[in-house]
Amino acid sequence: MDYKTLKLSKDGMPTWDAMLPIVLKTAAGQKEWTRKEIETASADALGLPEDLRQKKYKNSLGNVIENRVDFALSDLSIVGAISRVRRGVYQITDVGKKLLETPDNINVDYLHSLPKYQEHQAELNTRNQRQDIAEDAGDEKEADDDVAEQIFEKVSAYNNKVGSELLDRIQSGSPTFFENLVVQLLISMGYQGPNGTAQVTQATNDGGIDGIINQDPLGTRTIYLQAKRYKKDNVVQRPQIQQFAGAIHSHNGVFITTSSFSAGATEEAKKSAIVLIDGIRLTELMLKYHVGIQTKRKYELVEIDEDFFEE
């Protein structure tokens, strides 16, 4: 394929959305791919010249074609055309193979109209609304808008996309992984204290206690945890909160799920003084306390030091 026949950006590079059919067709070429392999193979499929293969962003912190393949890979993963089978390894799915039968549909408009993408976008909108981020935070804004506010909104919108991906990754993990995650999160939030202990409990008929945090050496301040790794449509109901409340006997409790809570569950939790953390709130906390993520880049926004210029 001649890359010049595709939609190109000003620098002569295929745009990320033009990479969608290329990446999907490449993924069909073998059973499994590492991210690096699919980036290289996609560039090979385009016949991309060396100068464009090596092109980096102005800040020199990323390769352009690799980044655009990654964006395409992300959208294809959201709609279920490509799946992550284990760490850093991807493969085409039956959904992806079906899409290849109608190549004209492998475009942004069609993919973004699919139910899975619509569900993903609805979740992002909820995250942005919780933080009062404008829906067009990823778009260009008026020149006279406050620059610091623009930066904050764009970074927050980007991180919310990471939060959505985090939730998907958690839901694809094991229940044991999730139980360890929620204990680690509360430790990172400081609930263990300087001399306390934290542990994941063994599977028993304990009413669903999955973790215990003793905030002091004697265990006089204890937090009991329940962790439910549910699909998004499996809403936690009132009886599950009642069962947990009965198990912890008026002690402090935190109920964490990857899904959400019914109105009855929320009402019951208030009566029992149990803190509820749903899937979106869970990943918001993970972003805030840096659990399961790492910093990609840092930028400095500077201003004049007025004290320096005082005479």
Give residue-wise pLDDT tens across range 202-249. Answer: 765 556 788 999 988 877 789 999 999 999 899 999 999 999 999 998
CA–chain centroid gap for 193, Å, is 28
Q: Answer with the one of 66, 84, 113 that is the final residue of a domain.
A: 113
The CATH number given to whatever domain includes residue 36 is: 1.10.10.10
pLDDT-wise least confident of 12-16, 68-72, 143-147, 274-278 = 143-147
Residue 13 lies in a domain: yes
Averaged confidence pLDDT in the chain = 88
The answer to whether residues 96 and 179 belong to one domain is no
Residue 249 lies in a domain: yes
Give the pLDDT of residue 215. Answer: 85
Residue 138 pLDDT exceeds 80: no
Q: Are residues 186 and 97 in the same domain?
A: no
**C-alpha–C-alpha distance, residues 128 and 280, integer Å:** 11
Overall number of domains in the chain: 2
Tell me, yes or no, whether 132 lies in a domain.
no
Q: Which residue has the higher pLDDT, 280 or 145?
A: 280
Same structural domain for residues 11 and 106? yes
Is residue 183 located within the same domain as residue 257?
Answer: yes
Cα separation of the two ends of the chain: 66
Work out the angle between the directed axes of helices 238-248 and 263-272 (0-180°, nearest 10): 20
Arithmetic mean of pLDDT, 25-38: 94
131 assigned to some structural domain: no
Say which range, 64-78, 101-115, 137-151, has the weakest mean pLDDT: 137-151
Could you list the residue range(s) of the whole structural domain that residue 21 is in? 1-113
3-state secondary structure the chain: CCHHHCCECCCCCECCCCHHHHHHHHHCCCCCEEHHHHHHHHHHHHCCCHHHHCCECCCCCCEHHHHHHHHHHHHHHHCCCEEEEECCEEEECHHHHHHHCCHHHCCHHHHCCCHHHHHHHHHHHHHHHHCCCCCCCCCCCCCCCCHHHHHHHHHHHHHHHHHHHHHHHHHCCCHHHHHHHHHHHHHHCCCCCCCCEEEECCCCCCCCCCEEEECCCCCCCEEEEEEECCCCCCCECHHHHHHHHHHHCCCEEEEEECCCECHHHHHHHHHHCEEEECHHHHHHHHHHCCCCCCCCCCCCCCCCCHHHHCC
Same domain, 5 and 78: yes
Tell me the C-alpha distance between 18 and 4, whole Å.
Answer: 11
At 196, give phi and psi (nearest 5°).
-85, -175
Identify whether the C-beta of residue 85 lies closer than 8 Å to the C-beta of residue 96. Answer: no
Statement to judge: residues 108 and 186 lie in one domain: no
Q: Of 82, 113, 144, which residue is a domain's last?
A: 113
Give the pLDDT score at 25.
96
| 102 and 192 fall within a common domain | no
pTM of this structure: 0.73
Where does a domain end: 88, 113, 138?
113
Residue 43, pLDDT > 70, answer yes
Classify burial at 162, counting beta carbons within 10 Å of its beta carbon; exposed 0-12, middle 13-18, buried 19 or more. Answer: middle
Tell me how far apart the alpha carbons of residues 216 and 239 are, in angstroms, rounded to a whole number: 31
Residue 77 lies in a domain: yes
Tokens describing residue 220: 């006089």
Q: Based on the domain organization, do 109 and 8 belong to the same domain?
A: yes
pLDDT of residue 177: 93
Rounded-to-integer distance, Cα 192 and Cα 214, Å: 6
- What pLDDT does 208 receive? 74
Q: Does residue 270 share a domain with residue 182?
A: yes
| pLDDT score, position 141 | 37
Task: Quote the percentage of the chain above a pLDDT of 90.
Answer: 57
Residue 204 maps to a domain: yes
- pLDDT tens for 248-278 read 988 899 999 999 999 999 999 999 889 999 9
194 and 91 housed in the same domain: no
190 and 83 in a single domain? The answer is no
Q: Does 100 lie in the same domain as 27?
A: yes
Structural domain contains residue 210: yes
- Per-residue pLDDT at 62 exceeds 60: yes
| pLDDT, tens digit, 9 for 90 and up, residues 72-122 | 999 999 999 999 888 889 999 999 999 999 998 899 999 999 999 999 999
Residue 7 — very low, low, confident or very high, per pLDDT cuts 50/70/90?
Answer: very high
CATH number of the domain enclosing 195? 3.40.1350.10
Q: What is the CA radius of gyration of the chain?
A: 23
291 is a domain residue: no
How many C-beta atoms surround the C-beta of residue 268 within 10 A? 21
Model confidence at 172, pLDDT cuts 50, 70, 90, reads: confident
